Amino acid sequence: MRWSVLVGLVVVGVADAAPGKQKGASLSEEDEPVAVKPAAAGPHESDLALLRGLLWALEPAPTEIRVIAVEDLGLLGDPRALNPLAELLIDPNPAVQSAALKSIAALRYPRSEEILTNVARHPTLPERLKVSAVDAVLYQNTRSAIAFLKQVARSTTFTFNLQNAAKRALAEVPPDRIEASR
C-alpha cells in the first residue's frame, strides 16, 4: 500500500512540475520531451579525467578512495600521470604505494620502465615494493627490461629477495627473447 501512495505522489509531482501545463491537460505532439544530445567528447575530457584522478589521489581522503583513484590513473593510460604516480611511491600508506606501483606498471612507456628500475635501486623503499617492481619490469616487454633483470639476478648489490624475483621473472621469458636482448 505504501508503494502505491508513493508512486501516486511521484506521478502527481511530475505532472505538476511540467511548465505551462494545467492539471488534467493532455500532451500534444509539440509537448513531447526533446532529447538532449550529449556534448561531443573532445580532447579536454581526457584532461578532465586525469585532473580529477590526480586530485583524488593526492588530496587527503580515506585510503580506499585514494587507492581507487590511483588505480584509475593507471587505467586511463595517460603518460602524464607517471610523475605524480612516482611521487606516490614514497607515500607513507603502503596500500597507496602498491596501487601506484601497479598503475605505473600498467602504463607501458619508457618512463614507466625507468621508474620501476629506480624503485628496485632505491635505498629506502620497502623490500616488498622493490620485489613487486622487479616482477613488473618484465611486463614492459623491452630488451632493456630483460637486461635489467639479468643485472639484478647476477649482481650482489641487490638483496637476495630481489635476485630471486629477477631469476623467477627471467624464467618466464622464452630463451629466444633472452638471446635477442644481448
Considering the domain boundaries, does residue 62 fall inside one? Answer: yes
Residues 138 and 103 in one domain: no
Considering the domain boundaries, does residue 114 fall inside one? Answer: no
Span 106-164, pLDDT tens digits: 988 889 999 999 999 999 999 999 999 999 998 888 889 999 999 999 999 999 999 99
Considering the domain boundaries, does residue 20 fall inside one? Answer: no
Where in the sequence is the domain holding 135, given as residue range(s)? 123-182
**Domain containing 93 — which CATH number?**
1.25.10
Task: Look at residue 178 in the predicted model and tell me its pLDDT.
Answer: 64
Closest to 152 measured CA to CA, from 139, 165, 136, 171: 165
Kindly tell me if the per-residue pLDDT of 16 is higher than 80.
Answer: no
Q: How far apart are CA 117 and CA 165, in angstroms?
A: 13
Kindly tell me if the per-residue pLDDT of 176 is higher than 80.
Answer: no
Span 50-97, pLDDT tens digits: 777 776 677 787 888 889 989 988 888 888 889 889 999 998 999 999
A 10 A CB-CB count for 152 gives 25
Considering the domain boundaries, does residue 100 fall inside one? Answer: yes
Contact predicate 165/135, CB 8 Å: yes
H helices within the chain, ranges in order? 2-17, 43-58, 63-76, 82-87, 94-106, 110-121, 127-137, 143-154, 160-171, 175-180
Residues 127 and 182 in one domain: yes
Task: Look at residue 11 in the predicted model and tell me its pLDDT.
Answer: 37
pTM, full prediction: 0.68
Residues 85 and 53 in one domain: yes
Q: How many domains does the chain have?
A: 2
Residues 173 and 127 in one domain: yes
Task: Look at residue 141 in the predicted model and tell me its pLDDT.
Answer: 83
Considering the domain boundaries, does residue 75 fall inside one? Answer: yes
Residues 81 and 130 in one domain: no
DSSP sequence for 137-159: HGGG--HHHHHHHHHHHH-TTS-
Residues 103 and 127 in one domain: no
Considering the domain boundaries, does residue 13 fall inside one? Answer: no
Considering the domain boundaries, does residue 59 fall inside one? Answer: yes
